[in-house]
Amino acid sequence: MNNKYMVSWDQLHRDCRSLCRHLINLEHEWQGIIAITRGGMIPAGIIARELGIRIVDTISVRTYSHQTISEPQVLNDVTATQNGAGYLLIDDLVDTGKTAQFVRERLPQAYFATVYAKPEGKPLVDAFITEVPQDTWIFFPWDLDLDYAKPISKHADE
Ligand SMILES: O=P(O)(O)OC[C@H]1O[C@H](OP(=O)(O)OP(=O)(O)O)[C@H](O)[C@@H]1O
Ligand SMILES: O=c1[nH]c(=O)c2nc[nH]c2[nH]1
Ligand SMILES: [Mg+2]
């Protein structure tokens, strides 16, 4: 994928808080949060803090190895709920929707929210905050490092 969408910690925090405002407006008493690990863990932590939710479980699903997609695999299942009723299910993003479809089958009653969504996957989630084009890879702050940026002009260092 040629295009990149770089997410800073600040932006991630702001986008998670925007998602929280949407979730608060639903006026629902959540039983707890289920994070889809690993990507959903940091958003789930921020959301748990903002909404005052202390029960946080995980379902560990792996669909990608670097940028290569394969069949979703459950590495560790959720234990807090059987069908997700009353639970918020949180992931960092939905891309093709393959992971979302798979997890929805496991937890059909959960309310599924992601912070970022690409067009193919967005019909599979109940809520998201920021849409990113399908041909763009999203880079999260936990995958990035502060590094030297080359000047835009190739003459700048002369
Ligand atoms: O909509 P999809 O095309 O299924 O892609 C979205 C999923 O892919 C990534 O997880 P990944 O499998 O890379 O594992 P990770 O969360 O441990 O990084 C991301 O965190 C989502 O869970
Ligand atoms: O870090 C990531 N960025 C993405 O755009 C993406 N799509 C699927 N899985 C992903 N992981
Ligand atoms: Mg993931």
Ligand 1 and 100: CB distance under 6 A: yes
Structure confidence by residue, pLDDT tens digits, 105-157:
999 999 999 999 999 999 999 999 999 999 999 999 999 999 999 999 989 98
Tell which atom from ligand 1 comes closest to the C-alpha of 39: 16
How far away, in angstroms, is 97 Cα from ligand 1 center?
Answer: 9
Q: What is the mean pLDDT of the chain?
A: 96
Could you say which DSSP state residue 67 is in? Answer: T
The Cα angle at residue 97 between residues 122 and 60, in degrees rounded to 5: 120
State how far the alpha carbon of 105 is from the alpha carbons of 11, 50, 78, 92, 121, in Å: 31, 28, 13, 19, 15
Q: Annotated binding residue at 138?
A: yes
Closest CA to 100 of 118, 130, 124: 124
Q: Annotated binding residue at 94?
A: yes
Q: Which residues are catalytic?
A: 91-92, 95
Ligand 1 and 89: CB distance under 6 A: no
Structure confidence by residue, pLDDT tens digits, 28-82:
999 999 999 999 999 999 999 999 999 999 999 999 988 899 999 999 999 999 9
Ligand 1 and 95: CB distance under 6 A: yes
Tell which atom from ligand 1 comes closest to the C-alpha of 95: 1
Ligand 1 and 36: CB distance under 6 A: yes
How far away, in angstroms, is 146 Cα from ligand 1 center?
Answer: 23
